[in-house]
Amino acid sequence: MQKKTYSAQLLQYIPFFYVIWSDDLVTASEINVVQNALKKDPSLSKEQKDQLLGWLDPERPPKAAEMKNWKQTISSSRVKLVESVNFPLAIFSQRLTAHYYHEHPFNEHLKQIEIHLGIQPNHYKHLFDVEVAHNPNSDYYSAREIDTLLKGKHAKLIDGFRATLNDPIFEWDIHRDKEDFREVVLDQVKFLARRDYGALAYPEAYGGTYDMEGYAHMFENLMYVDGSLTIKFGVQFGLFGGSIQKLGTKKHHDKYLNEAGKAELLGCFAMTETGHGSNVRGIRTTATYDPATDSIVIHTPGKNDNKEYIGNALHSKMASVFAQLIVNGKNQGVHAILVPLRNEAHELLPGITVEDNGYKLGLNGVDNGKIWFDQVAVPRENLLNNYGDIDKEGNYHSHIKNPNKRFFTMLGTLVGGRICVARAGLGGAKFALGVAVKHALRRRQFNDSIKIQEDLLMDYPSHQLRLTPLVASAYVYHFTLDKMMELYCDEGQPDKRVVETQVAGLKSIITWYANQSIQECREACGGKGYLLENRIADLKGDVDIFTTFEGDNTVLLLLAAKGVLSDFKAEFNSAGFTSVLKILGMQLNDTLTTINPVYTNKVDKEHLYNPKFHKHAFNYRTKRLTYTLAMRIRNYIKQGMPSYQAFLKVQTHLLALGKAYSVELAYNTFTDYVGQMPEGKYRNLFEKLGTLYALHEIRKDAEWFLEQGYLGGNKSKAIRQRVERLCTELRPHIEVLVDGFGIPEHCMSAPIAR
Amino acid sequence: MQKKTYSAQLLQYIPFFYVIWSDDLVTASEINVVQNALKKDPSLSKEQKDQLLGWLDPERPPKAAEMKNWKQTISSSRVKLVESVNFPLAIFSQRLTAHYYHEHPFNEHLKQIEIHLGIQPNHYKHLFDVEVAHNPNSDYYSAREIDTLLKGKHAKLIDGFRATLNDPIFEWDIHRDKEDFREVVLDQVKFLARRDYGALAYPEAYGGTYDMEGYAHMFENLMYVDGSLTIKFGVQFGLFGGSIQKLGTKKHHDKYLNEAGKAELLGCFAMTETGHGSNVRGIRTTATYDPATDSIVIHTPGKNDNKEYIGNALHSKMASVFAQLIVNGKNQGVHAILVPLRNEAHELLPGITVEDNGYKLGLNGVDNGKIWFDQVAVPRENLLNNYGDIDKEGNYHSHIKNPNKRFFTMLGTLVGGRICVARAGLGGAKFALGVAVKHALRRRQFNDSIKIQEDLLMDYPSHQLRLTPLVASAYVYHFTLDKMMELYCDEGQPDKRVVETQVAGLKSIITWYANQSIQECREACGGKGYLLENRIADLKGDVDIFTTFEGDNTVLLLLAAKGVLSDFKAEFNSAGFTSVLKILGMQLNDTLTTINPVYTNKVDKEHLYNPKFHKHAFNYRTKRLTYTLAMRIRNYIKQGMPSYQAFLKVQTHLLALGKAYSVELAYNTFTDYVGQMPEGKYRNLFEKLGTLYALHEIRKDAEWFLEQGYLGGNKSKAIRQRVERLCTELRPHIEVLVDGFGIPEHCMSAPIAR
């Protein structure tokens, strides 16, 4: 075929047309954009317009020979594509027709097309056989500014804390021996306590600033040092100290809180029992009030009723022991009692047995142990009596009469810990993503071309697809957890049932997300990711258990689902279903409208990128799952099935609802945050991250949406393509995005990330 | 409502009707079965038949009040349900109407319904408020007989090997220090070598039985002892010894193979380089023939060209070094050369540097290291010269003229190792599933009922759903890998390209499956799964890297997809795409017929359980993905895109094809195996396992099938319900199924599994 030449007027459009048709994503709205630009372009003659419009007809796309000719024209021009300029394709076109533009003004219409189609060099640079002057990373965004957004109002605290982590005591090292490792971690905890970080969430009278929100941020940052340090820190100050703060009263605060916050009194939180992992109400340890001695006797009745996996058990002098409180022969339900474990010489006190849990998959710097009590008597004053007390006459009192409500109110004060676990998981994911992305921007992988160097790993579409949605999710979860902690701490809202339920669901999906991310990062780094020195391996072992502790994820999702079912009116955490059923019985109607077929097949970019679509999809899923679930349960009950069995039969349905609700909540919380950002490039970036999160989540559950007829096959495919494309669009910014997490340089010790 | 009473004739059917209507799965074919039984039952009057048939009308299902009455009738009878009899529901019915049956013969029609509907106690026992005399495990199948089927022709070898593993040297223990751990593992390897297990796959002249298939089974069983032992064993005998056996000739065999098999000569396999993980052809180490000294000089040119992650590097006396062989200034491609590393005193020889890779996420009993060569000369005879040789005159010869073909033929001889890695992954999954299932059959979880004891974990639907499909998959992959090794060893088939490609795909999906299974088991065991003593934690760390070594899974899937695309005519392992393109260019037509709407909505059990449906679905997926992929690539090429870029653009599509093909292959291989089993209960059991695997896999990719219009929404939902139901049906047999893996009692050391 003879090479056809084009007039300058046509030629300027050819790179655009070539990109448009080479792409898999020519949509009606995109064609429209180009048509409009063409029609308005005064530089084109009528004939030229017709010619160009003819090349835009989706019914009769340009022939392969035509496109090949375009390509040859472009290649033979020897014009260089400069990736880092503002409008690379328009500038490229301009230079292609330099002889023409020399005499004519720059064609603004090309720029308009470039903007409106969101065309980015990553979409097309591989299409051109031209030299690309490129920089693997764009500096359009600043990591520092992103970090500032993420720190929000806690910037000062976090900056100070990160600087503190630069002390040599926090230098990462391998500790294989658990005794040695535990000593290192204990020293780190004491170091932080001396600098007042342990007491941060306590009232000012006890060395703190009452800053639970800041505490959660700090907790996430601790993961950049080490998982064991994070958990040990949380046990000492959050669980042990927190139980004194929340469940105790002034006498306990005055006596213990200062020392606890300074890590001078080490303590543990003895709730879980071997036989009763997730069923706190069913624990068997007893705390029997003995009027004769005015003391409370703590006792482990059976062989499997010992306290289990108690962090800090080997180092502690004292424990907050959760036990069935029996006063005058009556069980008043679970209460916490402070029980001294060891004397000044660190010898166990009489009646107390502690056994090391031994080596674990991770967190070997935390001293987990089992504890047995054999008729251990402590003074009546040791009862943490904020929600229930025994008076001098030996009578039990509580301002919460309903024992169920009392129990869940007590537990509810500890929900902050659940947010912190999710935050720590998120910190682990961010760190692993930081390592994997930086590695992928340094490591080159083989390709088949002899003339060009091996590609960066990060330039492979499959690599972009495996890491980018995870990075976007980290942003969504970051702001979601911020908001949850704010709500949890809001003293204007004393009824915490809604936030407790929401945290139950979010803790599950975020810790699972964290584990999946870390695993993906391990594999994305190949053999290098397997070496301890590169830090991902430890994170894998450490974060793994986050799915289990502070509430097993499956159990938490069931709670969340029950909350949604009962419109958050059911007693939180209640294993009983009656309150849910009561509400279900009241009224049920399917308020969901049938989905319009035009909607189920709408595939244009404007629609797919619109948060309204994402919110509608998530809301539809939650509502539909709630309705069908309620109908199923009601039918079972009508048939006479015991409510417990009915709930068992719908267990997988409940889990689906719990997840669906949590994803919806996270997305809505994130878009609320973005909605109040000032207009500008960072808001645009965050919107894009939100869109990627939403489309990725819809993709993950596409089968459900397809089954329901909510998505048509083409729309589902279009979403997949959009996810891939968004990953490519974010490729130049991926390093800035992980740097935006603000992981301190001195913590990022992985050799492959340097 | 007044309680209605029923005649004995009606009453006998009521438990069946209650079960049928309480279930979510009343299908037309099930109703048909009951209708037929009713019509043929001579004990019923016309009126009674009409009454019963009326209760079967799906258009007008029995009212809730009616069903409640049935339930009360059943409950108030105080008849006990005996789960362990052969026809529990029919017997229950019989006892319910004892006054009637006292005078009448047992109604065979009830038995027929029970058989044809496949009703099992797990479906209905929770529906009855009656005492259930139950046994958590059925003894209908024997674990020993299942194990015998799994061992197949290798029973004698495996039994002997398992007995050997009972030696105290293999007792599981925690080894935190890598030096200590490595010594333990080395002693274990030597112990096995002394008993001739190391040389098993070598010819008889060198101490073996030439039994590669048996070797693979043994390899899987090694995982029950320890992952590090498995890998160290594989490096010494499979990789180092295997390279001498396969790439060397008689002179090498005579000189080294006996000693290698006895672990008297320890060696390593030095292929991978830091800079070139997955690109063996691109390795940079050189082996330059020097005619002056008649020697080959091994050299590491650059800082990142060292050998990396070389197992056994610290203990080895010798290495099989892969390097670019340069003879008379010409690069003849990658060859292997035996290079002594250390002297008798275990000191490194001049020019050789070895560095410990340090601690890893797992496999710390394996001494991985980096190796550098600085102009190390070895005799010409050290070239492993089966596929290419240098003669006395210093000229290079090979009977395979095409250097690409030569390279891939050499690599192909090592594919057995890839099957072994998949087998080891499978062994890890089996072990973890054994622990998790046994734990779930011992551990009770809280429920809401006061009168009944806490449920076994294994009785929760979500728990069944998370573990049972994984158990079924283990069976499918077991027989698939058996077959692959048989094909690989079949000397009647010298062209191994097909099996090499198939193994590439299977290794990927099976090692990913293994990791997912182990993770699921860890979470299913809660905190207990996190303790090293319960063995799952080590498996997690050890098996993790199986997705990366012996070929990164992503790279292998791309190879598999390329094989499928080119109908296995492309050069295996070739990074070049030209051969694929040549074939694609030849002819392409979409032979897939449009799917009939009746088919896409067929939800009856007979259809969903029919292997024809599963095969059709898998085949449709592979074909459709192949066709659309080929079309996309062809279009890109037509538009002038370089082939390398075209393949990059379709990377995620290639991965999907690689997975789809591998799943289809595994299922077909398994059904072929089952097809030749004698009729009987084990064949029925295996058919059920195959069905669960198939439906579970279709579910996992349901979004794709829905997008294509291959599945309708209702069919997709029906498949989900069938998966849940199959898990419930297999519940009584779950312990036998994991015991059927044949994990020796002495290896199953996890306290939670005892």
**Does residue A587 register a pLDDT over 60?**
no
Is the dihedral angle over the CA atoms A109, A115, A121, A123 positive or is it negative?
A: negative
Mean pLDDT of chain B: 89
Indicate the CATH number of B267-412 among 1.10.150.530, 3.40.50.170, 2.40.110.10, 1.10.240.10: 2.40.110.10
Residue A452's pLDDT is 43
ipTM over 0.90: no
Q: Give the H/E segment covering residue A286.
A: strand A286-290
Query: Does the pLDDT value for residue A463 go beyond 70?
Result: yes
| Higher local confidence (pLDDT), A350 or A571 | A350
A71 touches chain B (CB under 8 A): yes
By the CB < 8 Å criterion, does B306 face chain A?
no
* Cα separation values, A162 from A217, A227, A236, A342, B680, Å: 11, 16, 20, 34, 68
Q: What are phi and psi of B344, to 5 degrees?
A: -60, -35
> What's the confidence (pLDDT) of residue A451?
37
Comparing A122 with B575, the larger pLDDT belongs to A122
Which contacts of A340-344 are long-range, i.e. CB under 8 A and separated by 24 or more positions?
A340/A378, A341/A268, A341/A316, A341/A317, A341/A371, A342/A316, A342/A317
Greatest alpha-carbon pair distance for chain B in Å reads 109
Residue B534 is encoded by which pair of tokens?
């319960």
CB atoms within 10 A of CB B560: 30
Q: Which residues contact A159 (CB under 8 A, 6 or more apart)?
A: A151
pLDDT, tens only, B433-491: 999 999 999 887 654 444 345 578 898 888 999 999 999 999 999 999 999 999 999 98
Q: Kindly indicate the confidence band of residue B323, based on its pLDDT and cuts at 50, 70 and 90.
A: very high
| Mean local confidence (pLDDT), A163-185 | 97
Mark yes or no for CB contact B639/A360 under 8 Å.
no
Token pair for A36: 């409009």
Residue A262 has pLDDT above 60, yes or no: yes
pLDDT above 60 (res B133):
no
Predicted pLDDT of residue A449: 40
Is residue B587 scored above 60 in pLDDT? no
Q: What residues have CB less than 8 Å from A31, skipping those under 6 apart? A: A56, A58
Helix axes of A64-76 and B611-638: crossing angle, nearest 10 degrees = 50
Contact by Cβ (8 Å): B420, B238:
yes
Q: Tell whether domain B415-753 is in CATH 3.30.429.10.
A: no
pLDDT of residue B113: 80
Give whichever of A578-587, B602-611, B738-747 has the largest mean pLDDT: B738-747
Mean pLDDT of chain A: 89
Whether residue A503 is predicted with pLDDT greater than 60 in this model: the reply is yes
Q: Residue A611 in contact with residue A694, Cβ under 8 Å?
A: yes
DSSP at B531: B
In the predicted model, is pLDDT for residue A440 greater than 90? Answer: yes
Minimum distance, in Å, between the CA of residue A601 and any CA atom of chain B:
12
Task: Compute, in degrees rounded to 10, the torsion defined by CA atoms A31, A33, A39, A45.
Answer: -60
Average pLDDT over residues A27-38: 79
Pick the range with the lowest mean pLDDT from A706-720, B368-382, B398-412.
Answer: B398-412
Assign residue A160 a region: left if phi > 0, alpha if psi is -120 to 50, beta otherwise?
Answer: alpha
Measured between CA atoms, the residue of chain B closest to residue A178 is: B176
- Model confidence at B571, pLDDT cuts 50, 70, 90, reads low
Which of B47-61, B69-83, B707-721, B723-737 shows the lowest mean pLDDT across its residues?
Answer: B69-83
- From the list B68, B461, B652, the residue facing A465 with the nearest CB is B652
Residue B644 is predicted with a pLDDT of: 77
| A573 contacts chain B (CB < 8 A) | no
Kindly indicate the confidence band of residue A442, based on its pLDDT and cuts at 50, 70 and 90: confident
pLDDT tier at B105, thresholds 50, 70, 90: low
3-state helix, strand, coil in chain B (%, to 5): 60, 10, 35
Position A57 scores a pLDDT of: 83
- What is the architecture, at CATH level 2, of domain A145-261? Orthogonal Bundle (1.10)
Percent of chain A with pLDDT over 70: 90
Which residues in A lie closer than 8 A to residue B636 (C-beta atoms)?
Answer: 22
* Residues A610-652: tens digit of each pLDDT: 999 999 999 999 999 998 998 888 888 887 777 777 888 898 9
pLDDT in tens, A389-399: 999 999 999 99
Residue-level pLDDT at B641:
76
pLDDT value at A683 more than 70: yes
| The pLDDT of residue B692 is above 70 | yes
| Interchain pair A523, B460: CB under 8 A | no
Whether the pLDDT of residue A128 is over 80: the answer is: no
Q: What pLDDT shows up at residue A694?
A: 98
Nearest CB neighbour to A527, from listed B174, B460, B545: B545
Q: What is the DSSP letter of A253?
A: I
CB proximity A132 to B under 8 Å: no
What's the pLDDT score for residue B81? 76
Phi, psi angle pair for A417, to nearest 5°: -65, -35
Residues of B within 8 A of A541 (CB-CB) are 361, 537, 540-541
B105 within 8 A of A673, measured Cβ to Cβ: no
Give the one of A277, A530, A724 whose C-beta lies nearest to B360's C-beta: A530
The fraction of chain A above a pLDDT of 90, given in percent, is 63
pLDDT tens, residue by residue, B626-647? 989 988 888 888 877 777 778 8
pLDDT score for A178 = 97
Q: Is A229 helix (H, G, I), strand (E, B) or coil?
A: helix
Q: Cβ of A547 under 8 Å from any chain B Cβ?
A: yes
Q: Which structure tokens are listed for B18?
A: 């209650």
The more confidently predicted of residues A369 and B584 is: A369
Q: Which residue has the higher pLDDT, A258 or B32?
A: A258
Instruction: For chain A, give the number of residues.
Output: 754
pLDDT, position A3: 66
B550 is catalytic: yes
DSSP B337: E
Picking from B580, B749, B610, the residue whose alpha carbon sits closest to that of residue B687 is B610
Q: Could you tell me the two tokens for B309?
A: 């992650």
Asked whether the predicted pLDDT for residue A168 surpasses 50, the reply is yes
Residue the block writes with tokens 């219009």: B709
Q: Is CATH 2.40.110.10 the right assignment for the domain spanning A267-411?
A: yes
* CA-atom Rg of chain A in angstroms: 30
- pLDDT class of B25 with cuts at 50, 70, 90: low
DSSP A189-221: HHHHHHTT-TTTTS-GGGT----HHHHHHHHHH
DSSP letter for B448, please.
S
Mark which residues 338-357 of A lie under 8 Å from B by CB.
357
pLDDT(A575) > 50: no
pLDDT tens digits for range A301-346: 988 899 999 999 999 999 999 999 999 999 999 999 999 999 999 9
Candidate from A4-18, A519-533, B520-534, B716-730 with smallest mean pLDDT: A4-18
Whole-number pLDDT of residue A21: 81
Give residue B371's identity as a one-letter amino acid code.
I
DSSP structural state of residue A177? S
pLDDT of the residue at A644? 77
A61-70, B81-90, B405-414, B415-424 — most confident range: B415-424
Of A64, A358, A545, the CB nearest to B638: A64
Q: Give the pLDDT confidence score for residue A551 in this predicted structure.
A: 87
Domain boundaries, chain B: 8-133, 267-412, 415-753
Rounded Cα gap, residues A227 and A532, in angstroms: 13
| Beta-carbon separation of B640 and A530 below 8 A | no
Q: CA-to-CA distance for A114 and A88, rounded, in angstroms?
A: 9
Closest CA to A511 of A432, A425, A415: A425
Region B81-102: what's the mean pLDDT?
A: 74
Of the residues A30, A550, A571, A697, only one is catalytic, namely A550
Residues of B in contact with A460 (CB under 8 A): 648, 651
Instruction: Using a CB–CB cutoff of 8 Å, tell me whether B644 touches chain A.
Output: yes
* H or E element at residue A372: strand A369-373
CA distance linking residue A404 with residue A276, whole number of Å: 18
Q: What is the DSSP letter of A56?
A: T
**What distances in angstroms separate CA A338 from CA A107, A376, A395, A565, B10, one per listed residue?**
77, 11, 19, 37, 64
Q: How many CB atoms lie within 10 A of CB B614?
A: 22
What is the pLDDT, as a whole number, of residue B574? 47
